[in-house]
Structure 1
Amino acid sequence: MPLDDIKSVEQLAADIKADHAKATDAVKEIAEKALAEAEKGVKSSASLKEVADEQLLKMNELTEQITSIEQKLARAKEFDERAKAAKSIGQQFVEAEDVKSLLDSDVKRGKAQMLLKATITSATTDTDGAAGAAVEATRLPGVVADPNRRMTIRDLLMPGQMDGSTLEYVQETGFNNNAAPVAEGAAKPQSDIKLALISTTAKVIAHTSKASRQILDDASQLRSYIDGRLRYGLAFKEELQLLSGDGTGQNLLGIIPQATAYSPAFAPAAETVIDKLRLAMLQAALAEYPATGHVMNPIDWARVETTKDSEGRYIIGNPGGEGPASLWKLPVVETQAIAVDKFLTGAFRLGAQVFDRWQARVELATENEDDFVKNMVTMLCEERLALAVYRPEAFIYGDLGFVA
């Protein structure tokens, strides 16, 4: 809105305010008159009430008009300021009132001054209006690390606690079931159960990391990050031990070294990998331990899932479907802790159990002299556990046949 129009609006507002003042005075006069008559006991006439109502209505209308005009006037001034700000510095200079007065004068001598408000920008240089240094960068908390591999083997096993360092348990290595109907007076058949006393010790899995006390105090999230990474590294090695530990030295004796070799009850025509896993389930069931899951390398499971029939249709599920991996109604555990082209099928919950002597924990210490004088902290993450495999026949291990 041009400045001249704004001035006319201001004049209009002044005129309305004057009318408003007159209406207000008229209302006051009527009110005083009515009050005086009431003191004298004279009842106000109907005409006086009509005049009072008329003046009150007029005053209210004028009040609304004044409010509306003042709001519009304020918006017009704000618009004019934005328009000025959008003009170049040269345009603002020649249109400034002091400059116009000087240029319009006959002498054209003197001094004209115009104050400019610098436009605030995101610049970081030493210039007017540069506010970039005040803008804070958005930084995500913590540290973005390599992805953690999903741990699964411990979740499959039955948990337990142990006392002392030695774990002893009786392992059934065979059962010759000769139960049969017996005639009266006849000798009863004898069944043979083969048992073995197994003794193992709890093993310690541990590692350490060092950090300065200053960084742990200054970056609170770093301590929790290191704690998490140490625990993950411990669980990573634990999974390898539970599956493949060879039992020598401080290694656990894992499930795979104790598992039974794959030996199918029959040979199906044109045997496939899917057939092998079903026959492995049958082998565990015949040992009286029905399987509860399969363990495969992610590469091999991808091969199974991408298997197609002669018409190019996927055999295992729908690529667009959702849900956990499963085969023959049993969950499939994908883990790189098992070698490529190998599988382990078994009754994990009943056939084995993991015993914790020490739960996984992270401890901090500055006890040694070198750490103390250097303000260093040693972070120790460790656990102590043992594994019991009650029935080797409950686990079937073999080759998938993908690799020649």
Structure 2
Amino acid sequence: MSFPALKDAQDRLAAKQKALHDIFTEAGPELDMDRVKSLPGTTEDKVTEIRARNDELDEIGRQFDDLQAIAKAFARSRQAPEEHSESGADPSGSPAQPDGTRTFGDLFTESVAYKGVQGQVGPEAHLDVELKTLFSTTAGWLPETTRTGKVVEFATRPVQLIDIIPATTTGQAAVVYMEETVLTNTAAETAEAAAYPEAALQLTEQTSPVRKVSVWLPVTDEQLDDEPQARGYVNNRMPFMLRQRLDAQILIGNGTAPNLRGILNTPGIQTQAKGGDPVPDAIYKGMVKCRVTGRALPNAAIIHPNDWQDIRLLRTADGLYIWGSPSEAGPDRIWGLGVVQSDAGPENTAVVGDFVNFSELSTRRGVDVQVSNSHADFFINGKQAIRADVRAALLVYRPAAFCTVTGI
């Protein structure tokens, strides 16, 4: 089913992107506004107009993102029930947990494993929790006496990339799909009684293996004695560790078992060198490669915070800020694409691509936690071993739908 509003937003987005790109091309690498003849007025007038056009582009980009999400949700709702098990539904048939239901920590503290740790070897319990649930961060402590109760979190990289990758589930050890690798279109006008031109199609089976990310943590019995503290402890830090590592694997995993193959190491993705271009121009050219060669519509850009800093501070030849003055927050978008500032990958390399349509994070199951005091000498030392893991596969369906922009 077609969505006219989505097509209209796509066309308007492309047109506005090109118009703004043409202005940057006129200005040249030095962003000299005197060279811009398509806009009237002084340098300040031209910069004001550029900002206005960029704001308009941001708004159209947000509208397009919303419409695209609605279209994909509608398409998924029309799939047969058996297809839903491979596209986001719980394989067991259980409905997704609504807001306000039991948390990860609630499941842990109510489990047989937690209730059985008092003075004996505790049994194990498996808790399956949706991976994309948002977790904050905290740490364990003894019952409060004279402390304020405030915990200062350790400074560490946040989870940023998982949420731009569509999530599905799988019940297999690998996700197998078919890729159309040959399409020879010989359709042509044909005279009466003449032979039809012969076309060719070829499908190739592709496989992405499910990999495991895991972590374990020793905890004393005393920390588990106080149930509210144990709930907060388990509910935050261990799932965050798993998600943070998986977040990095999405971008830089090398593909050698047991690693996932991240986007930057996927064969077939395109690349665009900055060269002598301004950074915005180089990113736009990468977007065009995704459109023309990848036949895709890029919807996000991953940029290192230090590189985004340089973009945000871009100024014209006479010192005016392109992305807004220091008194303004400025947009977290470029050419209408949402910008994900992530330091999981290297500096000086950005990634643009169609993450919505041509990438997928398929989980074999959510976070699984097990607890026992049978590890080593933990029983006689009053300790518990808590381990957690998640199994997932990353799929990049069309590598050419992604492009790195280097040297920025």
**Which bracket does the TM-score occupy, shorter chain normalised?**
0.5 to 0.7
Equivalent residue letter for 1:225: Y
Q: Alignment RMSD, CA only?
A: 2.8
3-state SS in 1 of match to 2:283: helix
Distance, in Å, in 2 between the alignment partners of 1:248 and 1:233 is 21
Question: Which of the residues 300, 303, 310 maps onto 1:293?
Answer: 300
Q: Which residue pairs with 2:249 in the alignment?
A: 241
Unaligned 5+ runs, structure 2:
1-143
Q: Which residue pairs with 1:278 in the alignment?
A: 284
Question: Which of the residues 184, 203, 208 maps onto 1:200?
Answer: 208
Distance, in Å, in 2 between the alignment partners of 1:190 and 1:296 is 46
Q: Which residue pairs with 1:163 in the alignment?
A: 171
Equivalent residue letter for 2:385: T
Q: Which residue pairs with 2:337 in the alignment?
A: 330
Aligned residues of 1:212 and 1:376 also touching (Cα < 8 A): yes
Aligned residues of 1:142 and 1:225 also touching (Cα < 8 A): no
Query: Is the deviation greater in 294-303 or in 224-233?
Result: 224-233
3-state SS in 2 of match to 1:316: coil
Distance, in Å, in 2 between the alignment partners of 1:186 and 1:316 is 61
Map residues 3-402 of structure 1 onto 2, 5 A cutoff. 139-173=147-181, 175=183, 179-189=187-197, 193=201, 195-218=203-226, 220-221=228-229, 224-225=232-233, 227-258=235-266, 259-263=268-272, 271-286=277-292, 287-322=294-329, 325-368=332-375, 370-399=377-406, 401-402=407-408
Q: Which residue pairs with 2:139 in the alignment?
A: none
Q: In the superposition, relative to structure 1, how do residues 310 and 301 fare at CA in structure 2: closer, same or farther (>3 Å)? A: same
Distance, in Å, in 1 between the alignment partners of 2:167 and 2:252 is 19
Distance, in Å, in 2 between the alignment partners of 1:174 and 1:207 is 43
Quote the offset at 1:367 in angstroms. Answer: 3.4
User: 1:299-346 CA distances to partner (integer Å, 9 max, x unpaired)?
Assistant: 111111111111111122443334651000000111011110111110
Distance, in Å, in 1 between the alignment partners of 2:313 and 2:338 is 17
Aligned residues of 1:244 and 1:253 also touching (Cα < 8 A): yes
Distance, in Å, in 2 between the alignment partners of 1:301 and 1:176 is 42
User: 1:20-51 CA distances to partner (integer Å, 9 max, x unpaired)?
Assistant: xxxxxxxxxxxxxxxxxxxxxxxxxxxxxxxx
Equivalent residue letter for 2:396: V
Runs of 4+ in 1 over 6 A off after TM superposition: none
3-state SS in 2 of match to 1:262: strand
3-state SS in 1 of match to 2:404: strand
Aligned residues of 1:172 and 1:391 also touching (Cα < 8 A): no
Higher relative contact order (CA 8 A, sep 6+): 2
Aligned residues of 1:301 and 1:334 also touching (Cα < 8 A): yes
TM-score, length-scaled by structure 2: 0.58
Quote the offset at 1:180 in angstroms. Answer: 4.8
Distance, in Å, in 2 between the alignment partners of 1:168 and 1:240 is 23
Unaligned 5+ runs, structure 1:
1-135
Q: In the superposition, relative to structure 1, how do residues 223 and 349 fare at CA in structure 2: closer, same or farther (>3 Å)? A: same
Aligned residues of 1:297 and 1:340 also touching (Cα < 8 A): yes
Q: In the superposition, relative to structure 1, how do residues 167 and 373 fare at CA in structure 2: closer, same or farther (>3 Å)? A: same
Structure of greater Rg: 1
3-state SS in 1 of match to 2:377: helix
Q: In the superposition, relative to structure 1, how do residues 336 and 178 fare at CA in structure 2: closer, same or farther (>3 Å)? A: farther
Distance, in Å, in 2 between the alignment partners of 1:246 and 1:397 is 16
3-state SS in 1 of match to 2:236: helix
Equivalent residue letter for 1:150: P
